[in-house]
């Protein structure tokens, strides 16, 4: 059940929010937990027992980690908990990949449970935080289940930490009028980003992909359309998740901060998928030593993190190469351009080049397609298709590019916040346009569901 589907928008979300709003405190977590189970089962009921088993295991491990006094016992419990979470991720997501390397015929990894990458990272982070005594364990099973299973962020994030939600899980959640209004505005804004920008950009990208080998300009248009599509697709989902969290009385972390306005490759990854970058920083990069052990060790730690980041996105070579590509470009940015005090325009140009090439690699659907796709950018060909499609895409492309500019986007937000009538009119118009687009279009994928 996609957030941008009519079944979710009309039949699931409104009754869940309304019922949750008026329930007594002791029923809110159980209700939200079972509503989230229903949401997940609607999309992939086969794996509910797996997730429920992991939930019970993580809950039990958290209790033991807090009560155990011997450090050896705590280390063993942490190791077993992390192994169970990551083992499940490996079994379903990576077993097929490694089996193919040794020419084994394994099919178990071909069916990927929805959201398992986000679920296991969130659960593992919880266990590590309890082990480090940075947070107390959750003793109430329904509260813990609500933390891990909450439907707004279960399938594709943002990756939420228990400490972000622990207070709200144990208080009466009756959001104030302002919080409800803000939540609905965020949800509608995210829905519009997904339906009115990402979906048409994705349709255009598919057209350009079919023409890119015959027309160089179409290859560049494909890179532009896909870069914008994946941004507004994932941004829209994340903003909808944050908005639904507000409507339910929770504060989810921000996942994007105008990444295409970044001043460098390094800055881009401080702004893109912020919760994933933060997870790898806190649970992989810093424990490995971060940048505290000299240049060589820092570069090795960066290599480890970016290899894992690429592999997290998918069990295939194009994602591994994508991660290694960013490792190279980040090392170049950090140890050459930054130290040489390269002018700002050069670092920004390097960022756009790195990101554009990276998205071409990311979308290749097989490592063997990466080189032909990149060659299409520099091999001069023309069949006259580009001008027609550029005219067709111009309104959506212009709107998308303008929405990437922080000054314009923030200015529009301030304007609609200042005038109540204008805010209401804009939200109503975006909602009606989004619903109209959904009823007449069959193209409504979500890119990050496959990760």
50 vs 409: CA distance, rounded Å: 42
pLDDT confidence of residue 96: 76
The average pLDDT across 266-277 equals 94
Q: Please, what's the b/e burial string for 58-87 (b: 16 or more CB within 10 A of its CB; e: otherwise)?
A: bbebbbbbbeeeeeeebeebbeebbebbee
Domain boundaries, the chain: 25-171, 179-440
State the pLDDT at residue 103.
67
Which tens digits make up the pLDDT trace of 398-442?
999 999 988 877 777 777 777 777 888 888 999 999 999 888 876
Q: Does 386 have pLDDT greater than 80?
A: no
Q: Would the pLDDT of 109 be above 50?
A: no
**Position 325 confidence tier, pLDDT thresholds 50, 70, 90:** very high
Average pLDDT of 325-348? 92
What is the predicted pLDDT for the residue at 306?
Answer: 95
pTM here is: 0.92
| 313 is a catalytic site residue | yes
110 pLDDT exceeds 60? Answer: no
Region 315-326 average pLDDT: 92
| CA dist., res. 19 & res. 17, Å (int) | 6
CA distance 188 to 212: 34
| Of 167, 258, 273, 313, catalytic | 313
Res 370: pLDDT: 92
pLDDT in tens, 405-415: 888 777 777 77
Per-residue confidence (pLDDT) for residue 230, from 0 to 100: 95
Q: Is the pLDDT of residue 385 over 80?
A: no
Neighbouring CB atoms inside 10 A of 310's CB total 24
- Classify residue 402 as exposed, middle or buried by CB count within 10 Å of its CB (0-12, 13-18, 19+): exposed
Copy the structure tokens of residue 126. 């919880």
pLDDT tens, 202-242? 999 999 998 888 888 999 999 999 999 999 999 999 999 99
Residue 449 predicted with pLDDT over 70: no
Per-residue pLDDT, averaged over 344-366, amounts to 93
Q: What pLDDT does 442 receive?
A: 67
Query: Which residues are within 8 A (CB) of 87 and not within 5 positions of it... i.e. 6 or more apart?
Result: none
| Residue 56 in this model has a pLDDT that exceeds 70 | yes
- Torsional sign, CA 252, 255, 9, 34: negative
């Amino acid at each position: 059940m996609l957030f941008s589907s009519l079944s979710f928008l009309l039949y699931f979300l409104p009754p869940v929010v309304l019922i949750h709003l008026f329930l007594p405190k002791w029923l809110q977590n159980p209700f939200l937990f079972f509503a989230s189970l229903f949401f997940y089962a609607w999309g992939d009921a086969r794996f509910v027992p797996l997730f429920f088993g992991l939930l019970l295991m993580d809950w039990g491990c958290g209790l033991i980690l807090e009560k155990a006094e011997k450090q050896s016992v705590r280390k063993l419990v942490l190791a077993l908990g992390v192994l169970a979470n990551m083992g499940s991720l490996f079994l379903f997501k990576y077993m097929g990949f490694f089996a193919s390397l040794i020419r084994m015929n394994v099919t178990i990894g071909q069916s990927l449970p929805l959201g398992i990458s986000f679920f296991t990272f969130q659960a593992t982070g919880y266990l590590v935080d309890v082990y480090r005594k940075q947070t107390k364990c959750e003793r109430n099973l329904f509260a813990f289940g609500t933390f891990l299973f909450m439907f707004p962020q279960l399938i594709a994030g943002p990756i939420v930490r228990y400490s972000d939600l622990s207070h709200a899980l144990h208080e009466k959640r009756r959001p104030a009028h302002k919080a409800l209004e803000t939540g609905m505005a965020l949800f509608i804004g995210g829905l519009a980003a997904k339906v009115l920008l990402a979906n048409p950009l994705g349709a255009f990208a598919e057209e350009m992909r079919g023409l890119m080998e015959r027309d160089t300009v179409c290859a560049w248009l494909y890179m532009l359309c896909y870069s914008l599509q994946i941004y507004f697709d994932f941004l829209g989902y994340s903003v909808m998740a944050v908005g639904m969290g507000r409507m339910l009385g929770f504060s989810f972390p921000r996942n994007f901060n105008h990444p295409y306005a970044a001043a460098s490759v390094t800055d881009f990854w401080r702004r893109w998928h912020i919760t994933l970058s933060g997870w790898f920083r806190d649970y992989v990069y810093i424990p490995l030593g971060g940048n505290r052990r000299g240049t060589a060790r820092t570069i090795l730690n960066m290599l480890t993190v970016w290899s894992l980041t690429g592999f997290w996105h998918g069990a295939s070579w194009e994602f591994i190469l994508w991660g290694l590509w960013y490792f190279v470009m980040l090392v170049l940015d950090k140890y050459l351009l930054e130290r040489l005090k390269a002018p700002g325009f050069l670092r920004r140009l390097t960022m756009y080049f790195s990101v554009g090439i990276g998205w071409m690699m990311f979308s290749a659907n097989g490592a063997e397609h990466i080189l032909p796709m990149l060659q299409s950018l520099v091999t001069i060909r023309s069949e006259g298709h580009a001008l027609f499609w550029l005219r067709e895409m111009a309104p959506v492309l212009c709107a998308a590019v303008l929405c990437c500019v922080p000054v314009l986007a923030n200015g529009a937000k301030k304007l609609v916040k200042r005038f109540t009538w204008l805010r209401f009119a804009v939200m109503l118009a975006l909602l009606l346009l989004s619903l109209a687009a959904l009823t007449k279009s069959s193209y409504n994928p979500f890119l990050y569901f496959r990760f």
